[in-house]
């Protein structure tokens, strides 16, 4: 486990790599031997304006350090063009980091159609468009590593970010299914929630945190998840300031409130059993819909001696 992680011969597309987190991923991939497509539209944080400068500068930085990179200025909504840039210049695509993003924060009652649509289009539809273009290539070559960029604002919600939260948790759902469909072809997909001082968090993070949480601390997690030695797929990870961790779902043991086969459950029975229903003592950590339905089947079976729910035979309970 002491060997250096290299990406020689691999081609990595990083979207929104003209600054912030994407730039730090592009530089680290470039320094580890990957050929990098530096995509960036060069707009402002709200998604307005355009410039080729941002991507060009990062390409220059990679080249000056002895690496190989090419710029692409398309919006992530034109995913095929970005993937085509990789194919035209380097002949393949092995790694895709969906990182491009904008913010249009407003309290929920004041959100406009444009604020909603633009954020969905760049984050969710953008990641979908680039991933859909790259996925068949990765599947065919039986190798691919994809990253989706979510946010704790998606996981927990955040005041003023209904549009962003919805898009960011949507990316987790997308990632989980891409991970399931890609796994047997060695195409892995993982999601990250970074926290970092970038133009996006300027004025949001306190100044001392802004300086401490450098984008360079997030990049090592992204590179590891994108390496061929990393076997994990379908995970949700967090990285900030040199700290790394993983999220998982937790489901209470719950309670079957139905008293007999024919009986229905009243709202009062739900109310009267509320403490037990939400008690996390003995909680489970299902990692798939199969594990989830197996747990349900066991709960119903335990209650009645038989179950109406048919589970997948490969399902495993993950009670812990």
The answer to whether 22 contacts ligand NAI (rule: CB under 6 A) is: yes
Please give the residues from 265 up to 294 whose contact with ligand NAI meets the rule CB under 6 A.
Answer: none
Of residues 12, 14, 40, 134, which one binds ligand NAI by CB under 6 A?
Answer: 40
Measured CA to CA, the distance from residue 182 to residue 49 in angstroms comes to: 35
Quote the least distance from Cβ 228 to ligand NAI, whole Å.
Answer: 24
**Contacts with ligand NAI, 174-213, as mask; x by CB under 6 A:** -------------------xxxx-xxxx------------
The answer to whether 42 contacts ligand NAI (rule: CB under 6 A) is: yes
* Whether 164 is catalytic: yes
Measured CA to CA, the distance from residue 263 to residue 39 in angstroms comes to: 59
CA distances from 302 to 268, 308, 309, 313, 314 (A): 23, 12, 12, 18, 20
The answer to whether 59 contacts ligand NAI (rule: CB under 6 A) is: no
The answer to whether 127 contacts ligand NAI (rule: CB under 6 A) is: no
Measured CA to CA, the distance from residue 230 to residue 59 in angstroms comes to: 27
The DSSP symbol for 125 reads I
Measured CA to CA, the distance from residue 292 to residue 11 in angstroms comes to: 37
The answer to whether 126 contacts ligand NAI (rule: CB under 6 A) is: yes
Measured CA to CA, the distance from residue 35 to residue 8 in angstroms comes to: 8
Quote the least distance from Cβ 20 to ligand NAI, whole Å.
Answer: 2
Buried b (16+ CB within 10 A) or exposed e, 136-154: ebbbeeebbbbbbbbbbbb
The answer to whether 100 contacts ligand NAI (rule: CB under 6 A) is: yes
Of residues 79, 101, 182, 235, which one binds ligand NAI by CB under 6 A?
Answer: 101
Query: Positive or negative CA dihedral for 232, 233, 235, 239?
Result: positive
The answer to whether 30 contacts ligand NAI (rule: CB under 6 A) is: no
Strand 68-72 vs strand 95-98: parallel, antiparallel, or unpaired?
A: unpaired
**Contacts with ligand NAI, 128-167, as mask; x by CB under 6 A:** ---------------------x-x----------------
Measured CA to CA, the distance from residue 249 to residue 310 in angstroms comes to: 22
Of residues 7, 26, 34, 75, which one binds ligand NAI by CB under 6 A?
Answer: 75
Instruction: List residues near ligand NAI by CB under 6 A.
Output: 15-16, 18-22, 39-43, 45, 47, 54, 75-76, 99-102, 122, 126, 149, 151, 193-196, 198-201
Q: Which residues are catalytic?
A: 164
């Amino acid at each position: 486990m002491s060997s250096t992680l290299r990406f020689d011969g691999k081609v990595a597309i990083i979207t929104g790599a003209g600054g912030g987190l994407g730039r730090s991923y592009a530089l680290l991939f470039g320094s580890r031997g990957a050929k990098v497509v530096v995509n960036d539209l060069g707009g402002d944080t709200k998604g307005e304006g355009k410039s080729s400068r941002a991507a060009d500068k990062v390409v220059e930085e990679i080249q000056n350090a002895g690496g190989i990179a090419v710029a692409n200025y398309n919006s992530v909504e034109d995913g095929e063009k970005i993937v085509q840039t990789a194919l035209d210049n380097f002949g393949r695509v092995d790694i895709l980091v969906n990182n491009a993003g904008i913010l249009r924060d407003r309290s929920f009652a004041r959100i406009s159609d444009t604020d909603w649509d633009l954020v969905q289009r760049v984050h969710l539809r953008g990641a979908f468009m680039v991933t859909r273009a790259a996925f068949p290539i990765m599947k065919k070559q039986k190798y691919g590593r994809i990253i989706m960029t979510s946010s704790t604002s998606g996981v927990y919600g955040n005041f003023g970010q209904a549009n962003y939260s919805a898009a960011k948790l949507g990316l987790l759902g997308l990632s989980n299914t891409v991970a399931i469909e890609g796994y047997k072809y060695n195409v892995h997909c993982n999601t990250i929630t970074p926290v970092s001082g970038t133009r996006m968090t300027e004025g949001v993070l306190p100044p001392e945190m802004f300086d401490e949480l450098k984008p360079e601390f997030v990049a090592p997690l992204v590179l590891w998840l994108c390496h061929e030695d990393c076997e994990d797929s379908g995970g949700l990870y967090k990285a900030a300031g040199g700290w790394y961790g993983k999220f998982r779902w937790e489901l209470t043991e719950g309670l079957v409130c139905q008293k007999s086969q024919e009986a229905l459950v009243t709202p009062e029975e739900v109310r009267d059993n509320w403490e037990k229903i939400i008690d996390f003592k003995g909680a489970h950590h299902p990692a798939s819909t199969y594990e989830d339905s197996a747990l349900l089947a066991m709960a119903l079976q335990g209650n009645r001696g038989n179950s109406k729910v048919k589970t997948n035979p490969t399902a495993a309970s993950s009670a812990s």
